[in-house]
Structure 1
Amino acid sequence: MKSLGEETTVASMAAMVTSAAQRLLLILLAASASARYTPDWESLDSRPLPSWFDEAKFGIFLHWGVYSVPAWGSEWFWWNWQGAHLPNYEIFMHSYYPPGFSYADFAPQFRAKFFDPKLWAKLFKAAGARYVVLTSKHHEGFTNWPSPTSWNWNSMDVGPHRDLVGELGHFLREENIHYGLYHSLLEWFNPLYVLDKDNNFTTQNFVMTKALPELVDLVNKYKPDLIWSDGEWEAPDTYWNSTEFLAWLYNDSPVKDLVDVVSLGGNYLLNIGPTKDGVIIPIFQERLLSVGRWLSINGEGIYASKPWRVQMEHTTSRLWFTTKQSAVYVFFADWPMSGILQLTSPVPTNMTTVMMLGIPELLKWSEDSLDRSLLIYLPKLSPDLADMKIWTLKLKGVE
């Protein structure tokens, strides 16, 4: 088994840059030129963040690819081994694999034979995740869908012989979970990318033949709610045709309401690494279900929340605040020995009520006569409450 890069010479790969690839750029430029968002950063940055993402708050990120076979180090295995030549990676390969073993030889072992996308989707739903981001392709270039520009180096041709991107997306949407796709722009050892890099990125052989067609294919075929493009740091945005692609994405693609970044909105994206056979190991499952149990009680103060005027108090206790629909939510991780929680930021009024999420009764409170801090009398710390680790108070009627 050989990868695309090992079978094809630079010269023959460069010849693949045809008029069809050039027409792709012309289509993107024409589609964006007369639409609402023009292909420049001032216009693109004015686009508001889609509300679903701002309200989701919690998602799951899946690193899954050929690097899941050695399952050692990280998803940067190939580069660390044959790009950076890190000694510990070379020792690992010498210790466990025969001489001449190539990275492409891992691909047939990436079988995903126990991959059950329906069970994955149900697990993520139980974990309280509102969106899931799957690695459609990392910097190694192997695609988890039958990419027409990644022949012999994709999950349909090699290994699983399945469309992993498509299968997971179907069942996530059955559970009403938003579907995101991570897609690497650069590919470490792709001859066309290496050629462009050698040319100081004055040519766009790789972009026009591989990167842009793949992104367009992903969007048109799977209609993701989120695209996370990564790996742009070695070349300028003009090399990647970033503004032209984003203008098309926002104006004329079939998913105009998608999110193109995942670093905004105060969301938490939890990374999970399935095995090469498509198993989410029990310890990961247990942690996910634990998060889901916590969110089933405390999620009211998480989902669709906004930052309050104070994010956290500078006290000996660990306290955080959010707000939603005129209520203030207080998260605290240190249960006071006295059973009385003191808050200095919320200002109580004669309309103030306090409750703890998961407990139906209102809690008693008073105002400290010296500093006007809010004193909240917590319920008895039962074993079930103690197991929660972080507790949430809901305050109404505070200034």
Structure 2
Amino acid sequence: MNRKSIGLVVLALMISLGIQAQNTIHPTSSEYEYPTDPKVQEKLEQWRDQKFGILIHWGIYAVPGIVESWSIVNEDWINRKDTTQSYEDYKKWYWGLKDDFNPTGFNPEQWADVAEKAGMKYVVFTTKHHDGFNMFDTQFTDYKITDGPFKNNPKADVARYVFQAFRDKDMMIGAYYSKPDWHSQYFWWDYRATPDRNVNYDIRKHPWRWNQFVNFTHNQLNEITSKYGSIDILWLDGGWVRPLETVNEEVLSWGAPIPEFSQEINMPKVAEMARKNQEGILIVDRTVHGPFENYRTPEQGIPSTMSPDPWESCITLGGAWGYVPNDKFKPSRKVIHLLVEIVAKGGNLLLGVGPTADGIFLPEQVSRLEEIGKWLEVNGQGIYETRAIETFQDGDVYFTQGKEKELYAILRIQEGEKLGESITWTLNPPKKGAKIQMLGQKGNLKWKTVDGKTVVYIPRSLQSKLADSPAVVLTYSGE
């Protein structure tokens, strides 16, 4: 039985047994809810124009170069290298990495410069991951970058300088924030064991403690949205912290335990506060479908179909979100192909790039990003500010549409293949007498449409010139 089938069975059992909590589970609608606030609508359409962003995971986990946060969770799928160390000792060691995290090479200007060269238009930076270590100068806990060996550095308030470096490049600014906080005594209480990712006590029996956690969360989100300059996106991770009634098939497919009560942090109040501080800010309450998920965020994959609703695939450049030694980075051709498919299906690509413990991008990361940027410098017209159309794909040819209704046909060229003497497709034919041009090249290309098949002829000079190109973009007026 696959994970989805298991999830459906579990959901059916939970409903049939009538599990009682603050609310009984009722699967919520998967329908996307477009925001009603005109300022949020305006910001959302601006974000949809950007198409390509960078997601930066950085925290104490970069010191040993291990997976972000998850190694301290006591769930069956977690494997740790040292099988002799007790779980409690491991957590103490992990959280103690705070005293070793001293990123004296921290250079946010390098990050922003590389991202700009890559053609990225927005950033999402981890202000706090699930482990509870804060990458900003919060006043509500000492577990933070400004209370360790880096505290006297002029750029100790890391998030402030990251946001400013990208803001100086005219990029949209996103603040990643984990709703769960495994370091907080109000979420993982030392009085209890920590069996899984959820709060480790019954909040129905300890409402004071949970209310303290809610207040802590609101106070931190107020800091981020009021003290760190203009913020465009509040990107909330940790989708298991949610009202029980919003649990759906997607959540059940994770295979994680579901408590018999809501882990509710009062999102209406969060949204009201954030938008009082930042007019029109986008709120992305990941996987919690409804008014506070302004766009969807599929992870490490691409939906099979086009969607007119706003969405963003978050995918890593390497194999991990954060820095790990000897990571294998995707070739730039692969990332460009992902970007083309995602944009043609109506989404954005948020590419995960993790800096080292010292605070820099590796040369291999930089070279991949610069190669992507060189392609976008020539071909970005077919990517940025476009929208998807129903007939978005014909084999290896993907289509996008510009704001003047011009069409772009993007041919992905696989590794080891060459640009041939013609490009053909059957969908989205050019209108009679249309001029077809290749972005970055001079002159019009010869073409014809016969029996529903459009054939565009590529001169030998272009075949040779673009022999190693990962993709080429044709532009024309459609029927």
Residue of structure 2 equivalent to 1:221: 227
**C-alpha contact 1:193 1:206 (8 A) present in aligned 2:** no
Which moved further from structure 2: 256-265 or 156-165?
256-265
**C-alpha contact 2:71 2:79 (8 A) present in aligned 1:** no
What secondary structure is seen at the aligned counterpart in 2 of 1:270?
strand
What secondary structure is seen at the aligned counterpart in 1 of 2:175?
strand
Spell out the pairing of 1:80-95 with structure 2 (5 A cutoff).
Answer: 80=73, 83-84=74-75, 88-91=79-82
Query: Which string of whole-angstrom CA distances, capped at 9 and with x for unpartnered residues, describes residues 119-140 of structure 1?
Result: 2211111111100111000000
The alpha-carbon deviation at position 44 of structure 1 amounts to 8.3
What secondary structure is seen at the aligned counterpart in 1 of 2:141?
coil
For normalisation by structure 1, the TM-score amounts to 0.79
Which moved further from structure 2: 352-361 or 190-199?
190-199
**C-alpha contact 2:71 2:80 (8 A) present in aligned 1:** no
Structure 1 unaligned residues grouped into runs of 5+: 1-40
Which residue of the other structure, out of 236, 257, 269, is the alignment partner of 1:244?
269
Spell out the pairing of 1:18-29 with structure 2 (5 A cutoff).
Answer: none
d(CA) in 1 for partners of 2:91 and 2:435?
A: 70
d(CA) in 1 for partners of 2:263 and 2:349?
A: 31
Query: Which string of whole-angstrom CA distances, capped at 9 and with x for unpartnered residues, describes residues 189-241 of structure 1?
Result: 42211356412456233433421110011000113111101114144177211
Over 3 Å counting, the alpha-carbon distance change for 1:201 and 1:392 in structure 2 is farther
What secondary structure is seen at the aligned counterpart in 2 of 1:366?
strand
What secondary structure is seen at the aligned counterpart in 2 of 1:306?
coil
d(CA) in 2 for partners of 1:361 and 1:331?
A: 18
The alpha-carbon deviation at position 351 of structure 1 amounts to 3.1
Which residue of the other structure, out of 174, 180, 186, is the alignment partner of 1:186?
180
Which residue of the other structure, out of 103, 109, 119, is the alignment partner of 2:94?
103
Residue of structure 2 equivalent to 1:320: 398
Over 3 Å counting, the alpha-carbon distance change for 1:326 and 1:150 in structure 2 is same
Residue of structure 1 equivalent to 2:213: 207
Which moved further from structure 2: 185-194 or 271-280?
185-194
Q: Does 1:395 align with 2:386?
A: no
Larger Rg: 1
Spell out the pairing of 1:22-41 with structure 2 (5 A cutoff).
Answer: none
Q: Does 1:378 align with 2:461?
A: no
Which residue of the other structure, out of 348, 358, 378, is the alignment partner of 2:440?
358
The alpha-carbon deviation at position 384 of structure 1 amounts to 4.5
Q: Does 1:277 align with 2:364?
A: no
Query: Which string of whole-angstrom CA distances, capped at 9 and with x for unpartnered residues, describes residues 265-286 of structure 1?
Result: 4110000011110011111111
For normalisation by structure 2, the TM-score amounts to 0.66
Which moved further from structure 2: 227-236 or 269-278?
227-236
What secondary structure is seen at the aligned counterpart in 2 of 1:342?
strand
The alpha-carbon deviation at position 45 of structure 1 amounts to 4.1
d(CA) in 1 for partners of 2:436 and 2:33?
A: 45
**C-alpha contact 1:110 1:276 (8 A) present in aligned 2:** yes
Query: Which string of whole-angstrom CA distances, capped at 9 and with x for unpartnered residues, describes residues 362-388 of structure 1?
Result: 1111122xx232110013345551222
**C-alpha contact 1:144 1:155 (8 A) present in aligned 2:** yes
Q: Does 1:233 align with 2:240?
A: yes
Spell out the pairing of 1:63-82 with structure 2 (5 A cutoff).
Answer: 63-72=57-66, 74-80=67-73
**C-alpha contact 1:201 1:235 (8 A) present in aligned 2:** no
d(CA) in 1 for partners of 2:32 and 2:273?
A: 15
Structure 2 unaligned residues grouped into runs of 5+: 1-30, 190-198, 244-261, 285-294, 297-309, 312-346
Q: Does 1:158 align with 2:125?
A: no
Residue of structure 2 equivalent to 1:137: 128
Q: Does 1:54 align with 2:48?
A: yes
**C-alpha contact 1:182 1:227 (8 A) present in aligned 2:** yes
d(CA) in 1 for partners of 2:424 and 2:90?
A: 65
The alpha-carbon deviation at position 183 of structure 1 amounts to 0.2
Residue of structure 1 equivalent to 2:283: 260
- The number of equivalent residue pairs is 344
Greater helix content? 1
d(CA) in 1 for partners of 2:459 and 2:56?
A: 39
Over 3 Å counting, the alpha-carbon distance change for 1:321 and 1:86 in structure 2 is closer
Q: Percent identity?
A: 26
Residue of structure 2 equivalent to 1:24: none
